[in-house]
């Protein structure tokens, strides 16, 4: 097999047609062993600059080529600043909180409906991960101004532009039973109330709107969820899995 040998640290120059400019192929000043450049059995056009795109590379880049492999292991990853680092454990950490609330002096929110109806109170949060946990808290002062009447509240959820769906079961619905007292004034008891629901089934990164629905046990009596002299607060908290 014929060979072309250039001794010392020689170069091979390939000139263009008018001999004014050239491409130089030069050997390194020193080598640890013989090296081989094997050309493929195909037409190849070399791209200018660094050859680092998918058409010029295949397979895995050796770890030793990335910061000499310093700190590389099965529990680290290659970060954009050119170092191998251990991922930060974010499980169980609060990622975001959203809140809606009212102030005293707003209109009362009540219903005489005997089936669940939208109260207009809601809070929206957009999960960052499908497996995160959303904790929904709601606090208010509720009342039914008639003895032994019942009001109930429940939590519904709408994902994206989807329909409202009840996510609390009957076991978790709020119930308020007004006390059996004599006068209308004494029956007007505003009971501080708190609801917490832990949502592990949203399975989405689309906006989730959580809504309070409520009903009265009788169409003849108003179940008041929020009075004009009281306030409410509704909070959604995302906890990373």
Q: How far apart are CA 104 and CA 39, in angstroms?
A: 80
Please say whether the beta carbons of 157 and 165 come within 8 A: yes
CB count within 10 Å of CB 156 equals 19
CB count within 10 Å of CB 133 equals 17
- Please give the helix or strand (H or E) that residue 186 lies within, else none: helix 184-187
The residue to which tokens 């929110």 are assigned: 109
Token code pair at residue 75: 């529990």
Taking only the tens place, the pLDDT of each residue in 13-35 is 888 888 788 888 777 777 788 88
pLDDT for 28 equals: 78
- Three-state DSSP class for residue 63: helix
Taking only the tens place, the pLDDT of each residue in 2-13 is 566 666 666 788
The residue to which tokens 């991922």 are assigned: 87
Q: How far apart are the first and last CA of the chain?
A: 64
What is the band of 180 on the pLDDT scale with cuts at 50, 70, 90?
very low
pLDDT for 179 equals: 45
Taking only the tens place, the pLDDT of each residue in 42-96 is 777 766 655 555 555 566 778 887 888 888 888 888 888 888 888 877 788 999 9
E strand spans, 103-207: 109-111, 117-125, 133-144, 150-159, 165-166, 174-177, 191-199
- Three-state DSSP class for residue 49: coil
pLDDT for 27 equals: 78
Scored b (16 or more CB within 10 A) or e, 94-125 reads eeeebeeebeeeeeebbbeeeebeebebbbeb
Please say whether the beta carbons of 134 and 238 come within 8 A: yes
Taking only the tens place, the pLDDT of each residue in 114-150 is 999 999 999 999 999 999 999 999 998 777 555 556 7
| Residues paired with 153 in a beta bridge | 174, 214
CB count within 10 Å of CB 226 equals 24
56 contacts: CB under 8 Å, gap ≥ 6: 47
Measured on CA atoms in the order 65, 67, 68, 70, is the torsion positive or negative? Answer: negative
Token code pair at residue 138: 């709601």
């Amino acid at each position: 097999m014929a060979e072309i040998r250039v001794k010392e640290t020689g170069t091979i120059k390939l000139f263009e047609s008018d001999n004014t400019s050239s491409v130089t192929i030069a050997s390194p000043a020193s080598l640890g062993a013989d090296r081989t450049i094997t050309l493929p059995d195909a037409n190849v056009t070399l791209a200018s600059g660094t050859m680092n795109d998918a058409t010029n590379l295949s397979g895995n880049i050796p770890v030793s080529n990335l910061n000499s492999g310093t700190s590389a292991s099965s529990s680290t990853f290659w970060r954009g600043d050119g170092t191998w680092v251990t991922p930060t454990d974010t499980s169980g950490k609060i990622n975001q909180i959203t809140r809606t609330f009212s102030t005293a002096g707003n209109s009362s929110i009540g219903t005489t409906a005997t089936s669940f109806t939208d109260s207009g109170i809601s809070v929206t949060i957009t999960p960052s991960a499908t497996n995160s946990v959303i904790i929904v808290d709601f606090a208010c002062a509720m009342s039914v101004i008639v003895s032994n009447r019942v009001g109930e509240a429940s939590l519904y959820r709408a994902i994206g532009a989807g329909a409202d769906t009840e996510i609390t079961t009957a076991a978790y619905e709020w119930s308020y039973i007004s006390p059996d007292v004599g006068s209308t004034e004494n029956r007007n008891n505003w009971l501080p109330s708190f609801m917490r629901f832990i949502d592990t089934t949203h399975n989405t990164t689309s906006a989730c709107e959580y809504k309070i629905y409520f009903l009265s046990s009788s169409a003849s009596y108003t179940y008041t969820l929020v009075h004009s002299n009281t306030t409410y607060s509704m909070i959604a908290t995302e906890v990373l899995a």
